[in-house]
Amino acid sequence: MEEETKEEVATGSDEQAAEVSASEERPAQKTQAAGVDAQAGDATGAEAAKRGRRAEKVGIVSSDKMEKTVVVRVDRLIKHPKYRRYVRRTSKFMAHNEGGATVGDKVRIIETRPLSARKRWRVVEIIQKAEK
């Protein structure tokens, strides 16, 4: 009787060890199988959760002279350390543009993988079209 229970315990622990080793192998396979969608920088839910939250910025398109790239100007207000006044600081980002944003449009850009030497952002949506 004792031998049977020992065998059952040993068999149960072997099965648990096999399940643990199989579950450890699965995430590695999932990360390879669940890849990036056709759009640059889009990922499925599991990939996006593992990677973390991407930075988003809202700015105005200042140049659209390139074929699939726009230059987005992002303004922010910072408090001057000495004078305690708010000062406007401007940053320019090169963003991949599939949606057809033009100069003056207010757009939302999102951080993505490097697409070229200077392009690491992608236009997600056009918030407001420019008045003509």
Residue 39 pLDDT greater than 90, yes or no: no
Nearest-5° angle of CA 41, CA 45, CA 48? 50
How much is the average pLDDT of 1-16? 52
Mean pLDDT along residues 26-35:
44
* pTM passes above 0.75: no
- Which amino acid type is present at position 71? V
pLDDT at 7: 52
User: Could you tell me the CATH superfamily of domain 54-128?
Assistant: Nucleic acid-binding proteins (2.40.50.140)
Which two tokens mark 68?
A: 């699939």
**pLDDT classification of 44: cutoffs 50, 70, 90:** low
Q: Are 76 and 97 in contact (CB under 8 A)?
A: no
3-state secondary structure of 32: helix
Confidence of residue 1 (pLDDT cuts 50, 70, 90): low
Question: For residue 5, what pLDDT band results from cuts at 50, 70 and 90?
Answer: low
- The mean of the pLDDT values for the chain is 79
- Residues of CATH 2.40.50.140 domain(s) within the chain? 54-128
